[in-house]
Structure 1
């Protein structure tokens, strides 16, 4: 491919991405197609359960609802299974939860499967989903390249009418949304972005063939999880790498390692206990916060405790730390000081040291999700890597030759990676054209703040359940842990509705109000509101700043949702 055609394709992909975000234009076009097709007398597909998304959540629901005899269909926008792991194939993309905590708990899924690494990359996770296909035969009930652009519940017929971009309308008794927390990519509106003559890609819209930066000047905008992973790889390949950092990533050592089939086989007898245990922890991992508080021990004991967690790697230093880490600012500062000391020792350049691990924290440790790194700080310490502090020196425009900052400097680059994240947690549901029974758009309802009941349902949307979205443990948990917990509840709710002769259920506004108060109350006890994070919706201009996840831990969450299901507390039922 010539550089000219590559550049053209890159710009085309970027424009597609921007169009993908503009749900209103797509929705209007799809509704026009739908009217034409329906008026032609074609019958609509009809299912018991229409599931959106073929990642962990959608496939868990499909497998378990199908076992109970329900007619299910999964609509997936991508071309294959995997959900976020279909879209995320950028350099260095890998999961940040250690195996086996990051996989399905069903014995059929793990008994004949082995991983090669503690933290698998995107290719291996894709192979895992193909293994799920071989074991459960899921693809026969999945339609790919199928994008939902509108849905509304018909209160007369007691069924959902779901519109897809191809102009089809599907009817289903239950509408189950499993679009995940990071399905709506965010591309900042940098002036001149479309004029850049080199390659430019968002991390979630990466070419299958990859992007070659050897011999080139590369730029990465953003230093969240994707930015860290791209920087680690590109710093090894590019002639020059410019990293545009707004907030330093308080990243932790991954301690990656190879796994053998023999050692996994030896451990598999413990898997059922491990999968049960992960749901009793705060965040769904294989470890839990200590019951000891930071200042209950001597400085020497505290240092030794920190060192042990740090050497263990992964998220141990975050969610197996002292019990007051996320609740007491003074205690949090002790942990931050230890992290900064360990990290600064890895960086030789004094300017970069202060940019990457400042002595004064910009936000409390752990109130933004720490990324797991392998050699991030060593790579950014290299002479051919430049760090631009966009907190003080903002990006003002993009020109054909590169990126201009507020000091007037043009940073000439050949390739740009947009590691600018997502309209996370609530954004994916707001772009689907969902309408309440009264005709209001969910996107409009949630503009001034998200409302749900139990992080599973919403008033005005009968028989619609969702998971790994707003007001569940979502961003504060290991994905499969909270997904399976919520999915089991949805399976039980569907079965209970059908077997008890109910037509539909939906939450009351009062129940949603009380749940929102609980979300805020739990969050306000923590340090999370002190950081401008995507946890709080603060990464998207104009988005309401609010806690989007349940901050009480998985055990409390399951107790709450199970209690509500017992007698449909907080729900209106239609017989």
Structure 2
């Protein structure tokens, strides 16, 4: 179908090559479910993805050691018992290859591939006020005319890959973890440098240390780490977690973090001895429970946070032993839980290996990449064969600001978010009618949530809103400025009460130069957020102008 595009749409005077009710950007966890739900409503809908297959973050992040740190049995779709029980996990925290296979299973089981276009990047999307529709361009020259544009791009999908001057001059190979090649990379005997020790860097380091000739880890910001316990699953364990399907479907959407556990203890109610007992028990669980289900006071009370932080430091000191390593790798200038907390498997012990060297770049930063390796500010050149950049992402906003998205009056989302990061419940943005969003700022899915729990909720809300519009004969939906102002104020009030707001990290966009400072994730809790979203829907979408 070919439709003449109006001036101001996409490319003025261009020809639309396809007409859709809805276009979805992304074929990961959110995009697959969004496609399934809208197709079931009878919409003409299609998903587009830059990748060559489904998987989203689990397609791109195939670096050594990539794996879940949510328990596998909760990082799943809960809308279908048959779909849930039709897949069996091999362990509690499986690795990327198994996760990618699971998402392929979902796509095949739901027969989604026929409505997904791979190897295609959306480059622009312009809203036409006269038609109330979007004109969307691809890197292949296609122009798609769609009523609804739904972004399922992921909150960590815009890698910060070009971070140091001179990267293009490096004689060896250089990789960002989120763009790791599909073909095997031979690390044996190589001099490898890893830049970044966040959750991703830690997974890489602990995995490749025994494979490489020599490993240099460039350490800037130390992390509080928790040991992971990932028991293998046999038939008995698989049957046990599958038997909990109804329980998990009932409880996960209403916990603070979308995980199966929730905060059970109050700091003030326990003696110091009882607190220690609780911390020891939860620490030994080998999960993120210490962060997400110990004492909620750690996020608000500096004294409580310091005691829990010192508990974790003590555990790390006992494993590191070496005073120099302790000073370099154990945080002291921010509190536990105010950054993303990584799980690890013998990561700290890696630094005791004779072929591993920790290089502090906190006060002697990386200045550039040279043909030979990495040069620090003091002039030292660390000679390397391979450089691995675990340098993170432009979280929450980057995936959309890298697309030329223009709303009413030609306003640019990149420019708007470059001044002030605002959304209405992380579901829409004032000024951009019929643009629905998942995993963007001001919702728990921007950082503080088991992602499948939150993405399912957002996708269902969007699908129900579109169903409501269609049943009422309406064609356009946009949040009012007043509703967005109220949500931003509510979000900020809760966020500013936490210690997260006082700690520089990607949670505030501090890792991206010039990015407006705002806590990206809604900190009021997954259950609270869901309730507020449900209340808006029950009110007939009060605060959203539907016409």
TM-score band w.r.t. shorter chain: over 0.9
Residue 528 of structure 2 is aligned to residue 556 of structure 1? yes
Instruction: Kindly state the Cα deviation for residue 188 of structure 1 after the two structures are TM-superposed.
Output: 4.8
> After the TM superposition, which residues 214-363 of structure 1 pair with which residues of structure 2 at under 5 Å, given as runs?
214-293=188-267, 295-358=268-331, 361-363=332-334
What secondary structure is seen at the aligned counterpart in 2 of 1:555?
helix
Instruction: Kindly state the Cα deviation for residue 183 of structure 1 after the two structures are TM-superposed.
Output: 1.3
Q: What's the TM-score once normalised by structure 2's chain length? A: 0.95
> After the TM superposition, which residues 370-409 of structure 1 pair with which residues of structure 2 at under 5 Å, given as runs?
370-409=341-380
What secondary structure is seen at the aligned counterpart in 1 of 2:188?
coil
Instruction: Kindly state the Cα deviation for residue 35 of structure 1 after the two structures are TM-superposed.
Output: 5.2
Partners of 1:449 and 1:381 in 2: CA distance: 45
Q: Tell me if the contact between 1:90 and 1:210 (Cα under 8 Å) persists in the aligned partners.
A: no
**What do the CA deviations read for 1:150-204 (whole angstroms, capped 9, x no partner)?**
1122222222111111111111111111001011110353222211111110001
Shift in CA distance, 526/86, structure 1 to aligned 2, threshold 3 Å: same
Match of 1:490 among 425, 439, 462: 462
| Partner residue, 1:79 | 52
Partners of 1:431 and 1:548 in 2: CA distance: 18
What secondary structure is seen at the aligned counterpart in 1 of 2:457?
helix
Q: Tell me if the contact between 1:532 and 1:538 (Cα under 8 Å) persists in the aligned partners.
A: yes
Shift in CA distance, 96/310, structure 1 to aligned 2, threshold 3 Å: same
Residue 497 of structure 2 is aligned to residue 521 of structure 1? no
**What do the CA deviations read for 1:248-305 (whole angstroms, capped 9, x no partner)?**
1111111112112332123323212112211111110010112412x43222111111
Partners of 2:288 and 2:241 in 1: CA distance: 21
Partners of 1:137 and 1:164 in 2: CA distance: 24
Gaps of 5+ in 1: 1-30
Partners of 2:214 and 2:240 in 1: CA distance: 46
Match of 1:502 among 457, 466, 474: 474
Residue 134 of structure 2 is aligned to residue 134 of structure 1? no
> After the TM superposition, which residues 99-178 of structure 1 pair with which residues of structure 2 at under 5 Å, given as runs?
99-105=72-78, 106-178=80-152
Partners of 2:393 and 2:11 in 1: CA distance: 32
Instruction: Kindly state the Cα deviation for residue 107 of structure 1 after the two structures are TM-superposed.
Output: 1.5
Q: Tell me if the contact between 2:16 and 2:142 (Cα under 8 Å) persists in the aligned partners.
A: no
| Partner residue, 1:427 | 398
Q: Tell me if the contact between 1:101 and 1:275 (Cα under 8 Å) persists in the aligned partners.
A: no
Q: Tell me if the contact between 1:352 and 1:381 (Cα under 8 Å) persists in the aligned partners.
A: no
Residue 515 of structure 2 is aligned to residue 543 of structure 1? yes
Partners of 2:482 and 2:271 in 1: CA distance: 48
Say which is worse superposed, 279-288 or 189-198, in terms of deviation.
189-198
Partners of 1:193 and 1:232 in 2: CA distance: 25
Residue 168 of structure 2 is aligned to residue 194 of structure 1? yes
Partners of 1:478 and 1:499 in 2: CA distance: 32
RMSD: 1.6
Partners of 2:381 and 2:50 in 1: CA distance: 38
Gaps of 5+ in 2: 1-6
Q: What's the TM-score once normalised by structure 1's chain length? A: 0.91
Partners of 1:277 and 1:495 in 2: CA distance: 26
